[in-house]
Amino acid sequence: MNVMKVNEKRRALMKALPASSLVLAGGAHAAIAEDPWGRAKEIADRLAKPLKFRAQDYPITKFGAATCKLVQVKAWVSHDDQEIVGTQAPGAHDCYPAIKAAIEAAHKAGGGRVVIPAGNWYVAGPIVLLSNVHVHLKKGANVLFSNNPADYAKYGEFDCGANGKLVISRWQSNDCLNFASMVYAYGADNIALTGEDWTSVLNGQGGVPFDGKGGDCWWTWKGRNRTINPASQANTPGYKEGKVTQRDPNPVNPKSLKDVAPQLTEEERLLIQGDGERWRADEQYLPALSEAGVPLARRVFGLGHYLRPPMIQLIGCTNVLLEGYHVQHTPFWQHHPVHCRNLAIRNVHCNSKGPNSDGFDPEACDMVLVEGCTFDTGDDCIAIKAGKDLDTQYGPSQNIVIQKCIMQSGHGAVTLGSEMAGGIQNVYAQDLVFENIHWATDPLNTAIRLKTNMNRGGYLRNFYVRNVKIPNGVQTSPSFYASLPGSPIASRTVATAAGAVVTFDCDYTPTADTVRTRPPMVSNVQISNVTVGDVDVKQGPKKGQKASCFQAIVILGPVASDYNGAQPMPPVFPVTGVTISDCDFGTPVNSEQPWYLYNVKGLQLNRVKIGGKEYNTTLSA
């Protein structure tokens, strides 16, 4: 394996950005406490200002692009469903060189707009955005990205031998060298990706078989689903027991961390590896490299591994606009900006129902506006991230406004975490409709969600939510995650995976992480004016009755017994400072226990209706 040197100028840029971000956030805490929605308006107003680009168009047809014919194939369109879809015909013209040339020409000239006209365009490689370039899809433009993983290991900056030519990436909040995303940028300033309307399509073809005939697809790499008692999204497309996926030990990974981190003591090595061979699965091996302090240049994945790239990944970028297009069938997360500043995403249709198809996951970003978007996803609609394990160098996610959006299917509508080791603060969500139109077959699991644990740690503070309508409720049956042996939280007893309107889970999938040494902290959360409607219960003893959820509120604070680090154990604080006011949560199925609390102090319910009864009380547990 080649060991490359990561571009130091790029690394310097990434490290320099937090200093400028702090100027934006500094001194704001007192003002936030006094007038949080005034602060939200300041952020939204600032990000409403249009970006400016040099007024010259660069049509991709002028650089050799040509449309392609489509053929019909049977493909997965969700965890559970297959349909006949159009994909590029064999021998389709590859527009990657033309789009690359158009972007580079615009960038060299000082900027401009790269135009993708109406038609079907096959692209066998990443669209890499450069500073001062605006990539625009006209009405009826349909960009079909190659569904061959090798096409995203051809053009990266880092030659990693048999693993391919890879790019700097983050995968579930850990740094690595991996496949390029379908749309990628690194260290760019003043960039835009827009569509004329929702007929302007970016199609990741995540469910189209690699061989075009029914074999594995990007989504197969997820592996077996581990959620207990899911109401939907229970399957992984094309997966069969015995396949190697991201969740199975990969024989190309070392048999011991000694091989890549010889500086570890035996005690440290055993803690990070855990029991058995599970740590050699790609999704476990990358976090192990982070915990072991292995540098980025030696965290090499790509070919021979099973870490799917996000569809759109922007790293270390400033002044970013994403607007007006329709993204679908993405291999992994739909949008993943990392350590970006001044980013607006508006009127985007985030529509991918495959495994891990989160709609918008800003990570360690500062000054973000999410406005007017519609989400229909195979995972969280929005999930705010901030690093995992030791990869916290970019600091917190902060100063994020989410407004005027619609959420349909998904795990959580507005979610914080689970990867949040660097912290999350100053998040404002308002004027939202969690419509949940697929409630009967593919329901929204939970509405307002926090997920972290003793590994992911971090803090959440200053989280404000108001004016949310949930006309068709959330999932009315409970779903669970397995607990650790000896935990006071028995498996299959607390509906943290699905079933509550408000879910704060500080013991999220604890069995997934071997190092559990970082207690999370949650404080100052204000939720108001949430209205939840009832639907017909489809299963269980209350089938046919009306209900809005399984429980209204589940707050599972940090579980001290999960800690497995050195003594003395750091303080494990309860969830504090949560206030819920002027809400109507509808009718829970579990009317005998409308909420569940563990390690919570001073939860305030003010004028909160649950099952028609109003509560004005302060709760601790």
Nearest Cα to Cα of residue 478 among 457, 499, 460, 462? 499
> Domain limits of the chain?
58-298, 358-620
Q: Is the pTM of this model over 0.85?
A: yes
pLDDT band of residue 234 (cuts 50, 70, 90) is confident
Pull the structure tokens for residue 144. 């079909």
Assess whether pLDDT exceeds 60 at residue 352: yes
Is the omega angle on the peptide bond into residue 568 within 30 degrees of 0, that is, cis?
Answer: yes
Quote the CA–CA distance of 111 and 136 in Å, as a whole number: 13
| Mean pLDDT on 435-450 | 96
Distances in Å between the Cα of 484 and the Cα atoms of 326, 597, 601 are: 41, 19, 24
Q: What percent of the chain has pLDDT over 70?
A: 95
What is the average pLDDT across 345-355?
A: 97
Kindly report, residue by residue over 214-232, the tens digit of the pLDDT.
789 999 999 988 788 887 7
* pLDDT surpassing 50 at residue 153: yes
* Across 511-523, average pLDDT: 97
In the predicted model, is pLDDT for residue 9 greater than 90? no
User: Residue 24 class from Cβ within 10 Å (0-12 exposed, 13-18 middle, 19+ buried)?
Assistant: middle
Burial 569-578 (b: 16+ CB within 10 A, else e): eeebbbbbbb
Stronger pLDDT, 22 or 229, i.e. the higher one: 229
- CA dist 162 and 301 (Å) reads 10
Instruction: Give the dihedral of Cα atoms 400, 405, 616, 32; nearest 10 deg.
Output: 20
CA distance 144 to 137: 13
Give Cα 118 distance to the centre of its chain. Answer: 30
| Backbone φ, ψ for residue 351 (5° rounding) | -135, 85
Query: What is residue 29's predicted lDDT score, i.e. its pLDDT?
Result: 53
280-289, 301-310, 505-514, 537-546: segment of lowest average pLDDT: 537-546
Q: With cut-offs at 50, 70 and 90, classify the pLDDT of residue 21.
A: very low
DSSP character string of 313-341: EEES-EEEEEES-EEES-SS-SEEEES-E
CB distance 533 to 593 below 8 Å: no
Q: What's the CA gap between 477 and 236, in Å, rounded?
A: 21
For the stretch 356-371, pLDDT in tens is: 999 999 999 999 999 9
Average pLDDT over residues 468-479: 97
Interval 573-591 mean pLDDT? 98
- Beta-bridge mates of residue 203: 144, 328
Predicted pLDDT of residue 297? 97
The mean predicted confidence, pLDDT, of the chain is 94
